[in-house]
Structure 1
Amino acid sequence: MIAHSHVVHDLACQYAALRPVDRELVSWGAALHDIGRSQTHSLAHAQIGADICREYGLPEEVARIVECHIGAGLTAEECRAEGLKPIDCVPHTPEEKIVAHVDNLVRGTTIISIEERLETATATLPDIIVRRIAALAADVESL
């Protein structure tokens, strides 16, 4: 988990360096994106991680990056269907989008292509989620 977070952090910082975004926010969000895995490895780790960030008084912008990093995010209804708090966890800010996209490009500690991620996603996730991951990638790459 820590090695994965290092790779996500470094790649997210590379993306941020080339875009008009808050680089410090991307750095913090990427470093902490999987902090909720200290309590669970389920989908709930994103919401739990955001709660941990809030409990420690970190800025809400960092908590939202952590909360929205799963795939290309989850709508409130998708969260409800997964047994999570029914809140919007879709990345909206450029910083949230960068961390979510980069996390999709890191399998363990290996950086993969978006095509590889989409191939894996197609085999395991609903089409709407796969399309959202592809749209997120296109959005981030165009920033």
Structure 2
Amino acid sequence: MPDRTNIPPEELLREAGCSRKVIDHCRAVRDCACEYAARCPDADYSLVETGAWLHDIGRSIDHSVRHAQAGADLLRSWGFPEPVVRIVECHLGAGLTAEECVALGLDARDCMPRTIEEKIVTHADNLIAGTTRVTIEESLASAIHLPEEIRQRMYRLSQEVERLCNTQKQP
């Protein structure tokens, strides 16, 4: 299989078969995530940008909750570095434990965001509805169907990212 790691992310999304709507959403998440990465001294900006662009590439395969693992598997098969793959795999809500994955019919994988880059992209995805920026409160209100524990985790993640990214990087 040819190396795809040097192809621009937007082109990869098209090549994978993502719709214009998904690509536009990924661009909006990228923009939001990059705003956070620019303010977060410990974040790898390039990793955040690539991970945010590709976070929904699995929607070319499946539009259910399964899209995160499907996207991660696709990127692994294309030789992408594990830090990018993990952003894709962990971006749902505020992540899923292996037990939660099994309960949802997914592979038993730890899909909890652990690195600052994983957390930034996950948080940014929670703040983008389609292509519209929303507040975390609006995001949580639209996630009322999720268990309270998961919504609380989403809120805690938002607070952590906001705290970690509240300073400007020094030139």
Q: TM-score range with shorter-chain normalisation? A: over 0.9
Q: Distance in 1 between matches of 2:80 and 2:50?
A: 10
Structure 1 segment 46-125 matched on structure 2, within 5 A: 46-121=68-143, 123-125=144-146
1:9-61 Cα deviation digits (max 9, x unpaired): 01111110000210000011000000000000011100010111111111100
Measured against aligned partners, the alpha-carbon deviations of 1:55-76 in whole angstroms (never above 9, x if no partner) come to 1111100000000000000000
Give me the TM-score of the superposition, normalised by structure 1: 0.98
Query: Hey, what does 2:44 align to over in structure 1?
Result: 22
Q: Amino acid of the residue matched to residue 149 of structure 2?
A: I
Instruction: Give the unaligned 5+ runs of structure 1.
Output: none
Find runs of 4+ consecutive structure 1 residues off by over 3 angstroms: none
**Cα displacement (A) at 1:119:** 1.4
CA RMSD of aligned residues (A): 0.6
Partner of residue 57, structure 2: 35
Q: Percent identity?
A: 58
Shift, 1:134, TM fit:
0.3
2:34 aligned with 1:13: yes
Q: How many Å separate the matches in 2 of 1:63 and 1:118?
A: 26
State the partner residue of 1:129.
Answer: 150
TM-score by length of 2: 0.82
Higher helix proportion (structure 1 or 2)? 1
